[in-house]
Every structure is written in C-alpha cells, then in structure tokens.
Structure 1
Amino acid sequence: MPVDIFGYLYAGIVAAGGVIGYAKAGSIPSLAAGLAFGTTLAVGAYQTSQDSSNSTIQLGASSILAGLMGYRFYNSRKIMPAGVVALLSVLNIGRIGLRALGTTPTHH
C-alpha cells in the first residue's frame, strides 16, 4: 500500500505552524492546536496508508481546519498561516472526496 505522503506533509506543516506560532508570538494556543491537529492528521495519514478508504480522521480534522482557518483568513486576509492551512485543508478534503468517488487509484 502506498504511503500517504501528502497526508504526512500536511500534518507536518500544521504541527510546524503551531511551533512557529509559539516561537514568534509566544502563543500557547497556537502550539497546542498545531501539535494536536498535526498529530491527529499524522494518525489519519497512517490509517490512510494502511487502508486508503479509512480517511475519517483526516476528513474530520481537515474539515475543522478548513472552517477555522478559512474564517481567520476571511477576517484577516493573511496568507500565513491562515490562508495556507485553509488551502491545504480544502485540497485534502478534495483529495479524500475524489478517492471516495473512485476517480483516483486506491492501490488495494
């Protein structure tokens, strides 16, 4: 089964964003959210790597991040970090949707 490379990269970017938010602004909520969502997304990427149809955790976390960060981007118009995370989240949701529709290979 193929490794969910995009899923792991997305998880790493989210976690790194939390660490950077803490380092730059001393934001403990950014650190906690980044690490919590990054870990959740990494677990989801692992599950998807084991079974490509098992994307519930990734879909849930990506949906929450798309909503939260999309809202932050809408209000702030700041590309970093809100715009980037919102975009990556929407891309991941689309990727999961395409896989569910059977338009991308599942490599069983």
Structure 2
Amino acid sequence: MSLSTIAYILAGLTAGGGITGYVRAGSVPSMVAGCSVGLLYALGAYRIQSRATYGVELALLASVVLAGSSIPRAIKTQKPLPIGLSTLAAFGLYSFGMAVANGRMA
C-alpha cells in the first residue's frame, strides 16, 4: 500500500471520528481535533501523491499530534476509543517514520 493511500485512509478515519464525536456527544473539541488531524493527513497525502516536498513529514506530524493526544488518554482510561486512536497513531508513526528514516519521501 502506498504512503499516500495510508495517509488518505488515516485522514478519513480521524476526520470521520471527530465528526462522529460531535454528532454523538456534541463535542466541539472532538470535531476540531479530528478534522485538524485529518486535514494534516490529507494535505500530507496530497503532497506525497503529487511528489511535492514535505508530504511524508506532514503525515508524520499528524501521527505525532494524534499520538500525543491519544496515548496518554488510552493509558489513563483504558477505553476503546483512545486505544483505537493510539493504534492508528502508532501505525502512522511506524509507516511515515520508516519512510523518513529510509529517505523514501514519495
């Protein structure tokens, strides 16, 4: 699976999750955070796909932001949603981190 496809999938999942959080609980912070991280993933995916600079790094940044917000909550609450978000973040960190480490930017 290409890096742009991974980033687009993560963009949809995080933005969709933020919107779902707003619809189900009226949580504006969930919507803003989910859509913001989703936008970072989508922008990274677009830049990867068009072979522009900093696409992988944007997707990696989105993963770092998602991990920073979800992993501590997952550890503290042990609830399924933060654990799922942490899993997505870890997958993104691995995928985009390995690409940066190997010099594979597209």
TM-score normalized by structure 2?
A: 0.85
- Cross-structure match for 2:85: 85
2: CA distance between counterparts of 1:107 and 1:67? 23
1:48-93 superposed Cα distances (whole Å, 9 cap, x missing partner): 222287312111111011121001111110122x111111111111
Aligned to 1:10: 10
Distance 2:92 2:105 in 1: 18
Query: 1:4 is paired with a residue of what secondary structure?
Result: helix
Structure 2: gaps spanning 5 or more residues: none
Equivalence for 1:70: 71
Q: Is there any run of 5+ residues in structure 1 with no aligned partner, and where? A: none
* Farther-moved stretch of structure 1 (48-57 vs 13-22): 48-57
Query: What count of residue pairs does the alignment treat as equivalent?
Result: 104
2:63, 2:90 within 8 Å by CA — same for their partners in 1? yes
Residues 32 and 72 (structure 1 numbering): CA distance in 2 closer, same or farther, change over 3 Å? same
RMSD between aligned residues: 2.2
Aligned pairs for 1:21-100 within 5 A: 21-51=21-51, 54=54, 55-80=56-81, 82-100=82-100
Residue 3 of structure 1 and its aligned partner are, at CA, apart by: 6.8
Separation in 1, partners of 2:16, 2:94: 23
Q: Which is worse superposed, 34-43 or 7-16?
A: 34-43
Structure 1 stretches of 4+ moved >4 Å: none
TM norm structure 1: 0.83
Structure 2 CA distance for partners of 1:3 and 1:69, relative to 1, 3 Å = closer
User: Does the residue aligned with 1:59 lie in a helix, a strand or coil?
Assistant: helix
CA displacement, residues 15-43 of structure 1 (integer Å, 9 cap, x when unaligned): 01111101111101111111111111100
